[in-house]
């Protein structure tokens, strides 16, 4: 179990999180959305390969609808589609996220979501400490000491802990493949937030993309979990020797007679 926690922290905290933000520095948010839209299909393939889970057509259809929805939403932003080093970082980060999700159901068998989140945070902090110390020595680490900044950091930390606990609980319930489909929701949520908060224009095609994303999540959640066939047990062998059978019948008859006498 400790090794599973270590592997989970390595793939999520040490690989996924840093490479995701580094990738955004050299790539675009649209490219990041498309790369992470491939996470559900990647997770399903890894789940089938390592956890021996049968791939269901319903879940594959949900993943395809989600990817199509993300593609429609980000395509309307008139982005230039160019492959850069940032996309490579984002691809590795997406793979780290997909591998990390595979450990969650196994950990959730013996640990609570809060415990998993807490240990992952502590182990991840220890793993990230050398990287932060190197940036600090090189003068690349910049920190704003204002009260507002620390308040934002505190609020973000609390939100991160809460969402981490809910995420672990959700993955343990629905499984890695279905849970990974929810990674397609951020582009749709960002589109709605831009419309409601910033007053940005939303195109009809983008609404269609959001509907496809929600439909993909809904369809995948309708898929029934595949249950393994129960192990077959050997039938008890009844004695075939007449003498033994007669002896057993006599014992049963005598026991029944004693029971009737006890009632009288």
Q: Taking the mean position of all CA atoms in its chain, how far away is CA 249?
A: 59
Q: What's the rounded Cα separation, in Å, for the pair 133 and 120? A: 20
Q: 263: Cβ–Cβ under 8 A, 6 or more apart, which residues?
A: none
Sole residue written with tokens 């989140």: 117
Give, in order, the Cα–Cα distances in Å from 136 to each of 15, 17, 214. Answer: 20, 19, 43
Distance linking the first and last C-alpha atoms of the chain: 60
The pLDDT assigned to 92 comes to 92
3-state SS, residue 200 = coil
DSSP 37-102: HTHHHHHHHHHHHHS-PPPPHHHHHHHHHHHHHHHHHHHTT-------HHHHHHHHHHHHHHHHHH
Could you tell me which of 105, 94, 39, 27 has the C-alpha nearest to residue 66?
39
Contact present, 192 and 214 (Cβ < 8 Å): no
The pLDDT assigned to 78 comes to 52
DSSP state of 139: T
The dihedral sign for the CA sequence 58, 62, 63, 67:
positive
| pLDDT tens track, the chain, 264 positions | 677 888 888 888 888 888 888 888 888 777 788 888 888 888 888 888 888 888 788 888 888 888 888 888 777 655 555 677 888 898 999 999 889 888 888 888 888 888 888 888 888 888 888 877 776 776 666 666 677 878 887 888 888 888 888 988 888 888 888 888 888 888 788 778 888 887 877 778 888 888 888 888 888 777 655 543 343 443 444 444 444 445 445 545 554 555 554 455
The dihedral sign for the CA sequence 238, 240, 241, 245:
positive
């Amino acid at each position: 179990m400790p090794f599973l926690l270590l592997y989970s922290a390595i793939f999520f905290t040490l690989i996924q999180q840093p490479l995701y933000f580094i990738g955004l520095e050299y790539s675009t948010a649209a490219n990041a959305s498309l790369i992470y839209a491939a996470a559900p299909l990647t997770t399903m393939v890894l789940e089938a390969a390592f956890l021996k889970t049968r791939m269901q057509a319903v879940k594959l259809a949900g993943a395809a609808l989600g990817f199509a929805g993300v593609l429609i939403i980000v395509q309307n932003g008139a982005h230039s589609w160019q492959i850069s080093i940032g996309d490579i970082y984002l691809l590795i980060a997406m793979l780290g996220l997909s591998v990390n999700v595979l450990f969650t159901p196994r950990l959730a068998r013996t640990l609570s979501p809060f415990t998993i989140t807490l240990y992952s945070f502590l182990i991840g902090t220890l793993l990230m400490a050398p990287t932060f110390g190197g940036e600090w020595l090189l003068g690349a680490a910049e920190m704003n000491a204002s009260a507002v900044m620390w308040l934002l950091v505190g609020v973000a930390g609390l939100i991160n802990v809460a969402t981490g606990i809910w995420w672990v609980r959700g993955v343990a319930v629905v499984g890695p493949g279905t849970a990974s489909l929810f990674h397609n929701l951020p582009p749709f949520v960002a589109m709605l937030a831009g419309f409601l908060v910033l007053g940005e224009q939303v195109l009809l095609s983008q609404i269609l993309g959001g509907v496809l994303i929600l439909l993909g999540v809904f369809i995948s959640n309708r898929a029934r979990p595949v249950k393994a066939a129960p192990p077959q047990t050997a039938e008890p062998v009844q004695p075939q020797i007449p003498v033994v059978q007669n002896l057993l019948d006599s014992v049963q008859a005598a026991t029944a007679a004693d029971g009737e006498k006890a009632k009288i």
